[in-house]
Amino acid sequence: MILDIFKKELKDTLRDRRTIIAMIVVPVLVFPLLLGLSTTVTKYFADKQKEEVLKIAVVSNTPDNLFTERLSAIPDSLGPKEIFYRQDTLGLRQEINEDSLQLAFIIPPTFDSEQQQNQQSTVAILHKGVNLGNKGRITTYLSIIENTLLEDRFERLSLDKKLIKPIHEQFIDMSSKKEIIGKVAGGFLPYLFVIFGFIGCMYPAIDLFTGEKERKTLETLLTTPVPRWKILIGKMMVISLSGIAAAAFALLGMFAGLRLFSLVDLPGLSNVIDGILTPQFILGLLALLIPLTIFFAGIMIPATIYAKSFKEAQSVLTPVNFIVLLPAFVGMLPNIELDYTTALIPIVNIVLATKEIVAGTIDPVLLIISYAIMLIAAAISVIFSYKRFGKESNILS
């Protein structure tokens, strides 16, 4: 009988256009589109910044100084520039504010002599801090000029540059490619599960309870010789399945987006993703999704039973959505790992466990604890739903 109810409600759910869009279309398309858009926009602004001519004023008592010479020698491959010589700072601030100049270097008269005597010179820089891209180019220019001046000093003093750098860092990253992907995608993947798992459950829950109340078909269903708990379980199975499907299609969309748009500078990214998407990985995530979506269904059903209209049910569940997303967001924060404390917190444990599964560093004991806690939370939500579904005042209100 539960299976019959499940089949009937599943057919009705699949006929609902809003459910199909929320469960399949949006999760599959949203991430390739978002990743593609972010990649295109980032590349566009980066290329535009490189092509933009930076107008620079050099204020000095003479145009023939070391700073201007070294600045002019910087290749345009780091960004085109125009250099203007000025003898004073008159009108500079206004020109920079009007963006006719982007940058001005004020060189002290003693700059050349100070450099020849291996002393430090103070160079004032006028710029607009809101132009972040320009500031990056300024830093690059100054770094190049400083390095060339240092080379001159070492040559004059017949010194080895190693004297000012006693340690040469050689970073050797011991992280596997899978762990790198786990930290990049793994931090976002669980958040993705929670969002789309919740949305995937929400619309079927509203339709199967509030919708039936609006259509006056719920009372007819309850008059059939079927125990009320079987009706509840059949409907809950459809709601959970919708949440699992939405989360699974979101996973598919995200990994498809990662493969199409290489946001991670990692050779062999496609092979790493293929290595992550193994049957064991998919089954492991599915095992975590089942109690999570049952929990979502369990907290949604009482609200949808109580609501008198589709609009009211949406209004009630929207704040619940934010409450559910909070622990998912906490799980994304840095330095919060799955341990014996976080494994006891519902939703947070699923988020952190998923991250560890993607990275391949999951502790089996912590995984079992997380799963058990989520099963307990799901069971409590089912019992709560059953009690609310068993009250005639809630159903017939």
Read off the pTM: 0.62
SS3 of 362, please?
coil
Q: Please, which pLDDT band fits residue 213 given cuts at 50, 70 and 90? A: confident
Point out the least confidently predicted range of 67-71, 203-207, 257-261. 257-261
Burial class (CB in 10 A: 0-12, 13-18, 19+), 280: exposed
Is-contact 342 367, C-beta < 8 A? no
Domain annotation for the chain: domains and CATH numbers: 2-36+176-395 (no CATH), 50-164 (3.40.1710.10)
Angle, helices 189-205 vs 310-330, to 10°: value is: 160
DSSP code per residue over 9-46: HHHHHHT-HHHHIIIIIHHHHHHHHHHHHHHHHHHHHH
pLDDT, residue 179, reads 63
Q: What pLDDT is attached to residue 15? A: 74
Question: Quick one: three-class SS letters along 117-160?
Answer: CCCCCCCEEEECCCCHHHHHHHHHHHHHHHHHHHHHHHHHHCCC
Q: Which of 26-35, 124-133, 291-300, 326-335 has the lowest mean pLDDT?
A: 26-35
For residue 178, the model assigns a pLDDT of 60
- Asked if the model's pLDDT at residue 184 lies above 80, the reply is no
**Segment of 88-92, 266-270, 356-360 carrying the highest mean pLDDT:** 88-92
